[in-house]
């Protein structure tokens, strides 16, 4: 990991040598600069006048001038000149000096100059009135690589080019410099269909397409609808446009190719490449790495990807996933209970261990990519679990393939300790897992993973995500902690500054409310293993015969442990937080953070409330009256409209699918549960458990 050092001769005053926490908080900037010195007074600004950018700082000239236009008061106010100079230092280091008569920026490289202008915009946004506070800022990042990886998954497949550009603008203003884009990935069966996504069409392989089908709820007609589509990026072939737009804003795009796990589409459509079973039959999951025809097909596939999408767009690194490579159920539509293995059992592959099979795949892909001067990134888990990481790196070295980056990931405790002795390594938390489920606070995961990575010497902070504006706080904390990791108070410091940024009129109350709500939303076991199961997603991945939502409702009706009381406590905590949260302000590029938080918190509380109401109706002594049924229907419709109006347009259909999966079955499930043995009445078995 690259460590920050203060620039030499930065031009700041003596006061900038020692900075207090109050000074850092006085300008609620995220990411938090390394050193801030506030001075009395301010500089009134009519507009900024940028003088010529020196050689080496002009790469992002258009973006710098666009940012300068943001800092504009009224025409009667003075013009404030902005001068740029270079100094020798580490990549992305800069100084920003705001004086009454000028703004001086000194930067080590073009990206540093761009970051300085972004900081100037943040200062402007945090100020009151058409003026800039006088200040000296000296800054530079902790981690060289800072970014998020956007998974190819439900919701993301709806993103059009304009929405990808908005996402890039959000990341860029937070000084992130890497955007991972999954262009191919597959999971098991969800909602009755294979979960497969291909985002980049390959002319040489026209059979590789991933058409989608979705059954969801239409807010315009208030009816169930079904529609069919292709992933937007595939349909309109705009991967190259994403790369270009991101590069102009100082962000490198890192595409990811799933496999040899997480791959059903390619081996099913290209059976000559597929792993085979003991009888020589293609399994449609995983790859053969021994047969000549299979190796030739894999080589053609990677070359086609490089020729059509990577090399023309200047992509010099491919994330060749390699993760979660093991046998799984729920990938065979004809027998969802059958365990399907990605390990090929042909004569050649049958002699290899799972770790050796993975190595053969990665070495072959690496050799093909090396022909095009493209290097690799891998998730760490399977290489480490199978005990082949060192052998694999030795194989690459012997084959003359450049060393890959190893991305060490975990989204709940305990997180791994990365190794940095053999290869460049990145620390990989998450900023969000599924935008159609309940929104989680991943601050603890981000802090733990990055602290452990910093101690081990990793060079990157690269978070798994599925793009959703509701995850703003998580993404902002990732950017904040990756930029300024040492020294730092971590999540505690961030929450205080975040509250000041989004609720400047009452930051203390906002910070308290966020802490209160996080007792729920930051508890991974509670959120992922209990509360999110009120949605049908997890039930639809199970081959069991227990229907949804009958099985979940029955489980929550158990008197011991009292899961229903858990849900009631969650609802009451969330309602209390909602009632206490003050109003907030808009933040550049993002939806209003307080409004987004309220929408997500309300959606969660209302969903759980409706779930308990259905449970109560199913176990009350008399069937629900017509009036009670109408009330349930009204609450359900209001919840659907909340999701439709508050989620991003590309997330809304899949979020509505999850809510509709429960709501459309309310009346039938109440009748089914009542017609059977019924559910036990709600009882309290412990007098002092409140």
Please report the sign of the dihedral spanned by the C-alpha atoms of residue 534, residue 535, residue 538, residue 541: positive
Is residue 279 a contact partner of residue 216, using CB atoms and an 8 Å limit?
no
Report residue 13's pLDDT band, with 50, 70 and 90 as the boundaries: very low
pLDDT of residue 571: 98
Residues 519-566: pLDDT tens digits? 999 999 999 999 999 999 999 887 666 789 999 999 999 888 889 999
Percent helix, strand, coil in the chain, to 5, is 45, 20, 40
pLDDT of residue 246: 98
Burial 533-565 (b: 16+ CB within 10 A, else e): bbbbbbbbbbeeeeebbbebbbebbeeeebbbb
Question: Hey, what are 670's tokens?
Answer: 């109440």
pLDDT of residue 675: 85
How far apart are the C-alpha atoms of 681 and 690, rounded to whole Å?
Answer: 18
pLDDT of residue 456: 97
How far apart are the C-alpha atoms of 295 and 307, rounded to whole Å?
Answer: 18
Between CA 231 and CA 313, with CA 235 as vertex, the angle to 5 degrees is 100
Give the residue-averaged pLDDT of 151-163: 97
pLDDT of residue 354: 98
Q: Which residue did the predictor score with more confidence, 191 or 24? A: 191
How far apart are the C-alpha atoms of 71 and 492, rounded to whole Å?
Answer: 31
Q: Please state, as a whole number, how many other Cβ atoms lie within 10 Å of the Cβ of residue 306.
A: 19
Distance from the Cα of residue 685 to its chain's centroid: 42
Cα distances from 537 to residues 253, 326, 352, 412, 667, in angstroms, run: 30, 22, 36, 20, 20
Torsion of CA 110, 114, 116, 119, to 10 degrees: -160
How far apart are the C-alpha atoms of 606 and 634, rounded to whole Å?
Answer: 12
Torsion of CA 183, 184, 189, 190, to 10 degrees: 0
Percent of the residues in the chain that have a pLDDT greater than 90, as a whole number: 87
Is residue 588 a contact partner of residue 121, using CB atoms and an 8 Å limit?
yes
Report residue 686's pLDDT band, with 50, 70 and 90 as the boundaries: low
The secondary structure of 99-165 as a DSSP string is -SS-EEEEESSHHHHHHHHHHHHHHHHHSSSSEEEEEEEEE--S-SEEEEEE---TTGGG--HHHHH
pLDDT at 406 over 90: yes
Between CA 347 and CA 482, with CA 187 as vertex, the angle to 5 degrees is 110
- Burial bucket for residue 82 (CB in 10 Å: 0-12, 13-18, 19+): buried
Is residue 419 a contact partner of residue 456, using CB atoms and an 8 Å limit?
yes
pLDDT of residue 446: 98
Residue ranges per domain, the chain?
14-139, 145-189+230-428, 515-675
3-class DSSP state of 216:
strand
Q: Which of 103-112, 353-362, 400-409, 482-491 has the lowest mean pLDDT?
A: 482-491
pLDDT of residue 540: 85
Which residues, in sequence order, are CB contacts of 422 under 8 Å at separation 6+? 389, 390, 393
pLDDT at 104 over 60: yes
14-139 and 145-189+230-428: same fold?
no
Q: Which of 95, 97, 78, 98 is nearest to 87 (CA)?
A: 95
Is residue 31 a contact partner of residue 485, using CB atoms and an 8 Å limit?
no
Helix (H) or strand (E) holding 36: strand 35-44
CATH code matching the domain that covers 14-139, chosen among 3.40.50.920, 3.40.50.300, 3.30.379.10, 3.40.50.10490? 3.30.379.10
Report residue 129's pLDDT band, with 50, 70 and 90 as the boundaries: confident
How far apart are the C-alpha atoms of 483 and 472, rounded to whole Å?
Answer: 16
pLDDT at 139 over 80: yes
Report residue 8's pLDDT band, with 50, 70 and 90 as the boundaries: very low
Give the residue-averaged pLDDT of 139-162: 97
Cα distances from 449 to residues 288, 430, 444, 453, in angstroms, run: 35, 9, 8, 6
Which residues, in sequence order, are CB contacts of 553 under 8 Å at separation 6+? 611, 614, 615, 618, 669, 673, 679
Tell me the fold of 145-189+230-428.
Answer: TIM Barrel (3.20.20)
Report residue 25's pLDDT band, with 50, 70 and 90 as the boundaries: low
Q: For the chain, what is the mean pLDDT?
A: 93
Report residue 2's pLDDT band, with 50, 70 and 90 as the boundaries: very low
Residues 45-56: pLDDT tens digits? 999 999 889 999
pLDDT at 270 over 70: yes
Helix (H) or strand (E) holding 81: strand 79-86
Q: Which of 434, 424, 501, 463 is nearest to 176 (CA)?
A: 463
pLDDT of residue 17: 36
């Amino acid at each position: 990991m690259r460590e920050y050092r203060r620039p030499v001769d930065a031009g700041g005053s003596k006061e900038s040598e020692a900075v207090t926490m109050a000074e850092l908080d006085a300008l609620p900037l995220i990411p938090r600069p390394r050193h801030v010195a506030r001075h009395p007074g301010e500089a009134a600004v009519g507009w900024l006048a940028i003088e010529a950018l020196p050689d080496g700082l002009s790469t992002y000239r258009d973006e710098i001038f666009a940012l300068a236009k943001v800092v504009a008061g009224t025409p009667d106010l003075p013009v404030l000149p902005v001068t740029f100079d270079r100094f020798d230092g580490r990549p992305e280091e800069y100084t920003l000096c705001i004086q009454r008569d000028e703004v001086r920026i000194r930067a080590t490289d073009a990206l540093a100059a761009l970051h300085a202008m972004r900081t100037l915009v943040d200062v402007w946004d945090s100020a009151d009135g058409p003026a800039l506070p006088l200040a000296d800022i000296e800054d530079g990042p902790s981690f060289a690589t800072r970014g998020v990886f956007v998974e190819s998954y439900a919701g993301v497949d709806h993103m059009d080019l304009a929405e990808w550009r908005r996402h890039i603008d959000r990341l860029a203003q937070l000084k992130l410099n890497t955007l991972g884009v999954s262009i191919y990935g597959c999971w098991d069966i969800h909602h009755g269909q294979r979960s497969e996504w291909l985002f980049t069409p390959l002319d040489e392989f026209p059979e590789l397409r991933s058409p989608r089908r979705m059954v969801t709820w239409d807010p315009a007609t208030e009816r169930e609808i079904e529609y069919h589509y292709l992933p937007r990026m595939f349909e309109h072939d705009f991967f190259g446009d994403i790369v270009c737009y991101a590069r102009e804003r100082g962000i490198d795009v890192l595409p990811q190719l799933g496999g040899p796990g997480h791959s059903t589409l390619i081996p099913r459509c290209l059976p000559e490449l597929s792993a085979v079973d003991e009888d020589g039959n293609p399994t449609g999951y995983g790859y053969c790495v021994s047969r000549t025809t299979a190796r030739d097909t894999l080589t053609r596939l990677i070359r086609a990807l490089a020729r059509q999408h990577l090399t023309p767009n200047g992509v010099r690194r491919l994330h060749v996933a390699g993760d979660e490579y093991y046998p799984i159920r729920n990938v065979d539509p004809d027998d969802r209970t059958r365990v399907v293995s990605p390990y090929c059992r042909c004569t050649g592959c049958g002699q290899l261990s799972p770790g050796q099979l993975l190595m053969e795949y990665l070495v072959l892909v690496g050799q093909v990519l090396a022909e095009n001067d493209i290097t690799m990134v891998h998730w760490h888990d399977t290489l480490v679990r199978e005990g082949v990481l060192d052998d694999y790196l030795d194989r690459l070295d012997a084959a003359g393939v450049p060393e890959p980056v190893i991305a060490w990931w975990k989204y709940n405790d305990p997180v791994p300790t990365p190794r940095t002795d053999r290869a460049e390594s990145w620390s990989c938390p998450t900023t969000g897992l599924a935008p159609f489920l309940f929104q989680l606070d991943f601050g603890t995961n981000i802090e733990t993973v990055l602290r452990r990575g910093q101690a081990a010497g990793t060079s990157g902070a690269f978070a798994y995500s599925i793009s959703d504006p509701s995850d703003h706080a998580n993404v902002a904390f990732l950017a904040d902690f990756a930029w300024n990791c040492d020294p730092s108070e971590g999540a505690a410091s961030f929450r205080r500054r975040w509250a000041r940024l989004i609720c400047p009129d009452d930051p203390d109350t906002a910070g308290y409310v966020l802490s209160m709500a996080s007792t729920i939303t930051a508890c991974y076991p509670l959120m992922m293993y209990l509360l999110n199961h009120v949605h049908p997603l997890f039930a639809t991945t199970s081959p069991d015969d227990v229907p949804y939502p009958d099985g979940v409702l029955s489980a929550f009706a158990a008197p011991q442990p009292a899961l229903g009381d858990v849900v009631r406590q969650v609802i009451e905590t969330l309602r209390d937080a909602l009632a206490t949260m003050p109003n907030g302000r808009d933040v550049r590029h993002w939806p209003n953070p307080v409004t987004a938080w309220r929408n997500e918190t309300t959606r969660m509380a209302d969903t759980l409330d409706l779930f308990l109401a259905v449970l109560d109706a199913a176990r009350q002594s008399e069937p629900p009256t017509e009036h009670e049924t109408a009330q349930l229907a009204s609450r359900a419709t209001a919840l659907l409209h909340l999701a439709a109006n508050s989620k991003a347009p590309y997330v809304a259909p899949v979020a509505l699918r999850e809510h509709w999966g429960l709501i459309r079955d309310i009346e039938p499930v109440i009748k089914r549960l009542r017609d059977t043995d019924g559910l036990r009445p709600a009882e309290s078995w412990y007098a002092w458990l409140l």
